[in-house]
Structure 1
């Protein structure tokens, strides 16, 4: 999961180029997919336009699946989303995923600016999902409004969530479900259990499929990984404080940077975070997968140094290949 986070003294183009470099390496190391999230009005987050970034990364890679984690559907018309992802699938056939969320991906003031006064409710999301699926379907051929070139294309749709709502809807619709356990783990187990227990097979999916997004910071030693993780903790502190912090250099200690309450809040938020050497992370990941029975893990790694970040993804790739 990628946000194209800007580092200190870096602009968005630098972040995009690092994302492309990561996608190329991830492809080489055997990763299945590479998703970008939608966020707005955050100075240090470069992924405000996932569809455009997906095209940029897809053009620079050859086989890894590229997708949204996700497109925040309430911010967009289903027609436009269908057209955008239909275009991507046409240009890069068999490589595009469409992950959908219902949160705004920003503050309420910015959400109002995005939606130009249109008030989206929880009840509207399932209707928008139905409309989007219809635009991709051949059943829409006789409609007065059709989505070209999306019509008839097979673009897999995933529902994203951090609470129970999307788990319920994904089970009802028979769609794969991705949980944001990397920053909102509170309802993770409850949500995936409900999803699995209540899943209704559909033409899209025969049995439930769960993706868990997790934070992983792997290094050649536990000490190295824990040091690198301080950059991530400083970034996470911005979430607690409602600010968009760039990725900062590692520090020796967080004690003088966060308060005791902030540290506790971040530790709770990072319950699905794995930091350590390859051996440490491998043991912890194997335990996590066994306990949760998720079908796929999606890795989010925010490390200041680009070489260290690539090394972390390389180590996780080795762990997953060894587990096959």
Structure 2
């Protein structure tokens, strides 16, 4: 695994300043439960540690006041600290905490390093021309989260296939939710460029106050891609042995389905398209019940 140690700097370098750049976002801002009470109590602190690391490096990547080079330097330093390399002090505490957590739980640090790689890509790349290109990004930025949870619960790696499908959907719908804000604040566009141009549109469509016909068709094609992935994502609870994790995943599956519906009928450029408290409640009840009974039943890929 490449650690980039030779190009990162320890926190004693004053040019780095504070390593973190908190945005104020937290677990409450996510589309899905983070370390909810459904998960085994002894594992929740580890989930929180992983989330805190992910949130810290995500905030660095999304900080508009940092240059691309500054973002990459800090991100690589976080990865070096995660991997246990010497010279990185307390301002990388969240990386150190995850290092210790992963050592204790015997979960691979790759699930942290892949997130770093995704955010380094964000610092370098701000356009995605094809669906496959976007999915490739999601495989770094979202799939490690699901894989981490599976490994933490001692699940078989065969479940990665179904978890990856769900995580990619969650990332794509999040990109659609935030498309206007991402373009405005970071000049970052995750809308599939080739599809948008095929419909006679351009990047300028993302700057509008409401979705254009070209943007609408492109969004629907992206949601069609999500629907195709959901065929496998919906099988995830049945390939998970842990009833706790199966219940949690079943809830997230339902939230993903609901977000796809909301985005089909909503305009993320005109107003925030998001889940309501009722959406969460319905998914929680239905998902918990279905996940409980589906756990370990198995399915054919």
TM-score by length of 1: 0.34
Q: Which of the two has greater helix per residue?
A: 2
Q: Which of the two has greater strand per residue?
A: 1
TM-score by length of 2: 0.36
